[in-house]
Amino acid sequence: MPETTPPVTAEQETKPKIKTRKPKQRACDEKDAKGKLCNGHLKRWYDYPKEIKARIGPKAEIYRCEFCKTLYKPDLSEMPHSYTLRY
């Protein structure tokens, strides 16, 4: 009997996974289906779409993996990096 996977809807496909960054984390720790680490660099994401802003909140400090596009919220125990850049 062949295995059938449920079809992926467009809504599920467009919703990226959101994780919390560990202290001093710079690389993605998301694993693929085979269990291999992504290890993509986490880059600050400034211009995110309205759908992400609705899920996370306005003016949030968001990081995104350059390969798998997983989103990372900052660790609440660390001081926000944007705090040091204010004038």
Domain-located, residue 85: no
Domain-located, residue 62: yes
Whole-number pLDDT of residue 29: 95
Whole-prediction pTM: 0.72
Whole-number pLDDT of residue 13: 56
Domain-located, residue 66: yes
Domain-located, residue 84: no
Whole-number pLDDT of residue 8: 52
Give the domain range for residue 65. Answer: 17-77
Whole-number pLDDT of residue 77: 79
Q: Which of the residues in the chain have pLDDT under 50?
A: none
Domain-located, residue 1: no
Return the exposure string of 23-37: e unless at least 16 CB atoms fall within 10 Å of the residue's CB, then b. Answer: eebeebbbeeeeeee
Whole-number pLDDT of residue 84: 55
Domain-located, residue 47: yes
Residue partners of 71: CB distance under 8 A and separation at least 6: 16, 17, 18, 19, 45, 52, 56, 62, 63, 64, 65
Domain-located, residue 50: yes
Domain-located, residue 9: no
